[in-house]
Amino acid sequence: MIELFAFPTDELLQENEVVVSLALNSESNSYDIEANQIQFQNLLKQAKEKLCEKFDKKYCDGLLEKVNGLKDNTHFWRKVTDSIVFYITPDEVYYYLLSVPVHTRVVVSDKAYILPLIANFQYISYYHLLCLNHDKFSLYSGRKDTIQKIDLPEDAPDTLVKALGEELTGGALNVADYAGGPGTGMFHGHNEKSNEVAIDQINYFREVDKYVNEYFSKPSELPLVLFALPANIADFKKISKNAYLDETRVEASSAKLTDNDIQAKTKEVVDEIINRRYEKVVKQFEETTPEFKLGAQYNDLAMASIQGKIDTLLLEDHYQVNGHIDGNGQHHESPENNIFINQLVHNVLKTKGNVFVLETEGMPSDTGIAALLRF
């Protein structure tokens, strides 16, 4: 079973013989997990019923056997704070821990049911938070406005002395922060070694950049958000070779802050990012001329998605359309299924378009669905 952190991914956009999608909204906390375990068992029963309408019992049992062990895995369920989505395929099981509420449901199809992921990833989702001071750093995994400290191994270069060792040129350091207290910020070198101290700091930042990039950013492909004083942000940005270093940053020293303080300051920035990116989407909709917009024109939407013409798709939360899209890009209405929207979203993402799920009051269109076409 593989936990995924990025979206969209090839694993979820490819077609399979069958994909069982389970979306579960948490009803528990980290101490009382029984409600979620019961929910999960009920979803598995529903999944088996749906599967057995299409496949024989042996196949159904074999597919669901991949996750049966989770029912009693208390350690796993303690990690589920808001919601979780599973994708059970013939080859592998994938899951996401989400920070937004989802609609609890089971979907059995040849495509993963990815709508629960959109709201979680549309503005800001998973990231690493690097709290950087002049002589030490700490690293956190971030999920929207929630962070958790990462326990680094003993050989991590989490302090300047540990990273540079005998290569230190500045000798003993006397450091004061901008307010005049001990701990962070400005250097005062003994024996006029200020230049050497500055060199040490840059060399240390290079070691931090190399380490975080190699062991965290590259393997996870997650954005790296910097939490540091403005001067340290500027210096780190100059030397960084990390392709995942994000433009988002928290301009403050973390040296004297608790984890809760760091999370509170990070939340302020995350909220600003969400608001800014939402406003950008609305502005794009308002500035797009009518000939490059589609509303609830399902055949036109289907064809445009197949042809890769949709740049941005806006959906009102809960919006559904009965029927499906055929191989020729036509909408076929059918009360027996409502996979049209999920197919539409797959098509848009496969052709590098953007998808946003908005609350009713935040939807700029009055049709519940809108597509902005590529020029």
Same domain, yes or no: 31 and 109: yes
Range of weakest confidence among 67-76, 86-95, 164-173, 365-374 = 164-173
> Is there a contact between 185 and 136 (Cβ–Cβ < 8 Å)?
no
Per-residue pLDDT, 213: 97
Sequence-separated (6 or more) residues with CB below 8 Å from residue 243: 217
Between CA 314 and CA 370 the distance in angstroms is 5
Where is pLDDT greater, at 24 or 28? 24
Per-residue pLDDT, 188: 43
> Is there a contact between 135 and 173 (Cβ–Cβ < 8 Å)?
yes
Q: Side-chain half-sphere of 3: how many Cα atoms within 13 Å?
A: 11
Mean pLDDT over residues 191-215, rounded?
86
Per-residue pLDDT, 274: 82
Last residue of a domain, one of 280, 296, 319: 280
Q: pLDDT category, 170, cuts 50, 70, 90?
A: low
Percent of the chain surpassing pLDDT 70: 91
**353 pLDDT exceeds 60?**
yes
Same domain, yes or no: 167 and 268: yes
Sheet holding 245-251, edge to edge: 146-149, 137-143, 126-132, 224-228, 245-251
Q: pLDDT category, 22, cuts 50, 70, 90?
A: very high
Where is pLDDT greater, at 66 or 334? 66
pLDDT digits (tens, 9 = 90+) for 29-49: 767 788 899 999 999 999 999
Mean pLDDT over residues 187-210, rounded?
77
Per-residue pLDDT, 173: 44
Mean pLDDT over residues 317-335, rounded?
90
Same domain, yes or no: 68 and 187: no
Per-residue pLDDT, 24: 94
Q: pLDDT category, 121, cuts 50, 70, 90?
A: confident
Same domain, yes or no: 113 and 135: no
Same domain, yes or no: 249 and 150: yes
Last residue of a domain, one of 228, 258, 280: 280
**168 pLDDT exceeds 60?**
yes
> Is there a contact between 261 and 238 (Cβ–Cβ < 8 Å)?
no
Per-residue pLDDT, 270: 85
Count of the separate structural domains present in the chain? 3
Domain range for 231: 126-280
Where is pLDDT greater, at 204 or 125? 204
Same domain, yes or no: 209 and 297: no
pTM for the complete prediction? 0.74
Per-residue pLDDT, 193: 55
Per-residue pLDDT, 30: 65
Per-residue pLDDT, 313: 97
**210 pLDDT exceeds 60?**
yes
Last residue of a domain, one of 280, 300, 322: 280
Mean pLDDT over residues 13-20, rounded?
92
**226 pLDDT exceeds 70?**
yes
**83 pLDDT exceeds 50?**
yes
> Is there a contact between 104 and 43 (Cβ–Cβ < 8 Å)?
yes
Same domain, yes or no: 23 and 161: no
Secondary structure element (H or E) that encloses residue 58, with its range? helix 57-68
Q: pLDDT category, 172, cuts 50, 70, 90?
A: very low
What per-residue string of b and e applies to 219-239 under the rule 16 or more CB within 10 Å gives b? Answer: ebebbbbbbbbeebbebbbee
Mean pLDDT over residues 204-230, rounded?
94
Same domain, yes or no: 44 and 150: no
Same domain, yes or no: 3 and 117: yes
Per-residue pLDDT, 185: 45
